[in-house]
Amino acid sequence: MSSTIGLIGLGTMGKALARNIASKGFKVSVWNRTPETTTEYILKYGNEFLTAAENFEAFVEGLQLPRKIVLMLPDGAPTEEILRKLLPALDDGDCVMDGANALFRLTELHQKQLLEKGVHFLGTGVSGGEEGALHGPSLMPGGSHEAWQSFEPILMAIAAEDFNGKACAAYMGGGGAGHYVKMVHNGIEYAEMQALAEAYDLLRSIYQLKNEEIAQIFTQWKEGPLESFLIDMAVEVLKKQEEGKSLLELIVDKAGQKGTGTWTSQEALALGVPTPSLTGAVFARSLSAEKDTRTRLAPLLKTPKTVASLTLTDFTAHLEKALTLARLSHFTQGFALLQAAETEHHYGFPFVEIARVWQGGCIIRCALLKDIHAHYTPLLYDAAFAQELILENLQNLRTIVATASSQAIPLFALSGSLTHLDAYRRAELPANFIQGLRDRFGAHGFERKDKEGTFHSDWK
């Protein structure tokens, strides 16, 4: 009997996703470049719903028409290679879904290329890592509507559940919409991770807390407004022991990155959307990678000793509130970018649905998404719940940033959020001064408060 769906790429994600699909009663056929991986996988997990074909041709031939094929490959060359191999074997009406973290522009190119052969292409953001892929990811499909309709029953069945038990999957719009939303999701993820890392740094540097003690503080936070998947993960990381030592003490402080944070920042710059915390988090990872330079400069620039001016209880209370407000800022920056992208690309983003689809399965799932979903506004700071959060927690964020600054502890994300918030609270910014300078040296002109039009001053 032919299979309902085919999946190419038995890496971490592909293996888990195929098992998830099969567990929902859809017959899946898998193919992987290295055949030994396939053999081993089928031996371990194969059943009537999870099978493998003899070879690539048999894999394609063994799928129900019109075909549904999922690619779970690294983006770039591997995906291109498989598409080149796959395309000649496909027929009019077949549908291909790319589950990689692909750049949205490339997704749009693939959509065009495949459509020339009558094949529909769906670029789908998949979030949740291996566990999410196995038990329920958050799914952000976009692109061909025909392909969405074809994959919809399967994607709805395998997705995580939102706060009300609905599937965390929804059509994100045309073109590269799905991968765009996933890109912004990852941008927010960068900022969230950086803010937690900064909290850890403050506690260990100013209060000399051990990782186990920091884990206890984070565990208390899990029960409050900071409830989120990433804080659960943070507690596990802080507690993890290897060879009788805290794992964190063994890990080199150089953060890796695969590019989605940079793509988010490039888009934000291109569209003129301020995302200081999201972009700051990318800079923080880049600077962390300069380990040799930091090690060389640290004694030369005489890193000062830290002093605790607040009690630990007071400081952690400030920090919890600061992180709560920073999270609002991260989502505000991310959604503002999506709003600008809508104006630019006309994807048809379902903004309120995005706040729902991120409630389960994905890395940035958190309690705050309930309010964002219920009271969505294009700039989240406009919402009443957000204004309440700002008024309640802004002073705490300021205390944390001021303390860090006085102790020479760098805060890329938390200080970015404070500046972002402070700038939106100022009806008057010093941009008049910038305009004056631009007109003085470049005759760029300026608008005036008292007259309509554009003016130049006579500087002679």
Ligand X SMILES: NC(=O)c1ccc[n+]([C@@H]2O[C@H](COP(=O)([O-])OP(=O)(O)OC[C@H]3O[C@@H](n4cnc5c(N)ncnc54)[C@H](OP(=O)(O)O)[C@@H]3O)[C@@H](O)[C@H]2O)c1
Q: Is 189 labeled as catalytic in the residue annotation?
A: yes
Residue 220 has a CB neighbour count (10 Å cut-off) of 11
Two tokens, residue 114: 């495949």
Work out whether strand 120-127 and strand 138-143 pair parallel, antiparallel, or are unpaired: antiparallel
Rounded to 5°, the CA angle 30-34-40 comes to 65
The yes or no reply on residue 81 touching ligand X (CB under 6 A) is: yes
Token pair 């894999």 is found at 59
> Which of 182, 198, 267, 353 is flagged as catalytic?
182
The yes or no reply on residue 259 touching ligand X (CB under 6 A) is: no
Nearer to ligand X, 13 or 328 (CB): 13
Residue 348 has a CB neighbour count (10 Å cut-off) of 13
Single out the segment in contact with ligand X by CB under 6 A; choices: 18-26, 76-84, 104-112, 197-205. Answer: 76-84
- The answer to whether the bond into 66 is cis (omega within 30° of 0) is yes
Nearer to ligand X, 39 or 309 (CB): 39
Two tokens, residue 339: 């709003």
Q: Which residues pair with 167 in a beta bridge?
A: 161
Using CA atoms, how far apart are residues 8 and 194, in angstroms rounded to an integer?
33
The nearest distance, CB 13 to ligand X, in angstroms, is: 3
Single out the segment in contact with ligand X by CB under 6 A; choices: 67-75, 158-166, 337-345, 379-387. Answer: 67-75
The yes or no reply on residue 10 touching ligand X (CB under 6 A) is: yes
The yes or no reply on residue 72 touching ligand X (CB under 6 A) is: yes
Using CA atoms, how far apart are residues 104 and 34, in angstroms rounded to an integer?
28
Question: Residues 6 or more apart from 239 whose CB is under 8 A from it?
Answer: 211, 212, 215
Nearer to ligand X, 3 or 124 (CB): 124
The yes or no reply on residue 32 touching ligand X (CB under 6 A) is: yes
The nearest distance, CB 99 to ligand X, in angstroms, is: 6
The nearest distance, CB 259 to ligand X, in angstroms, is: 9
The yes or no reply on residue 37 touching ligand X (CB under 6 A) is: yes
Binds ligand X (CB under 6 A): choice among 3, 4, 20, 101: 101
The nearest distance, CB 30 to ligand X, in angstroms, is: 10
The yes or no reply on residue 103 touching ligand X (CB under 6 A) is: no
For 192, the enclosing helix (H) or strand (E) is helix 177-207
Nearer to ligand X, 101 or 415 (CB): 101
The yes or no reply on residue 362 touching ligand X (CB under 6 A) is: no
The yes or no reply on residue 123 touching ligand X (CB under 6 A) is: no
Backbone angles phi, psi at 443, to 5 degrees: 50, 45
Two tokens, residue 165: 């038990």
The nearest distance, CB 248 to ligand X, in angstroms, is: 20
Using CA atoms, how far apart are residues 82 and 10, in angstroms rounded to an integer?
13
Q: In terms of DSSP H, where are the helices of 290-347?
A: 291-300, 312-345
Single out the segment in contact with ligand X by CB under 6 A; choices: 26-34, 153-161, 192-200, 364-372. Answer: 26-34
Single out the segment in contact with ligand X by CB under 6 A; choices: 73-81, 152-160, 314-322, 414-422. Answer: 73-81
Nearer to ligand X, 110 or 321 (CB): 110
Binds ligand X (CB under 6 A): choice among 46, 66, 129, 410: 129
Q: In terms of DSSP H, where are the helices of 29-103?
A: 35-45, 56-61, 77-86
The yes or no reply on residue 181 touching ligand X (CB under 6 A) is: no
Using CA atoms, how far apart are residues 38 and 24, in angstroms rounded to an integer?
21
Q: Is 351 exposed, middle or buried (0-12, 13-18, 19+ CB in 10 A)?
A: middle
CA torsion through residues 16, 19, 21, 27, sign: positive
Q: Is 182 labeled as catalytic in the residue annotation?
A: yes
Residues 284-313 that bind ligand X (CB under 6 A): none
The nearest distance, CB 16 to ligand X, in angstroms, is: 8
Single out the segment in contact with ligand X by CB under 6 A; choices: 27-35, 139-147, 275-283, 448-456. Answer: 27-35
The yes or no reply on residue 184 touching ligand X (CB under 6 A) is: no
Task: List C-alpha distances in Å: 34 to 38, 88, 93, 102, 378.
Answer: 7, 21, 29, 22, 46
Token pair 């209370």 is found at 317
Size of the site for ligand X (CB under 6 A): 23
Nearer to ligand X, 192 or 371 (CB): 192
User: Active-site residue numbers?
Assistant: 182, 189
> Where do contacts with ligand X occur on this chain (CB under 6 A)?
9-14, 32-34, 37, 72-75, 78, 81-82, 99-101, 126-127, 129
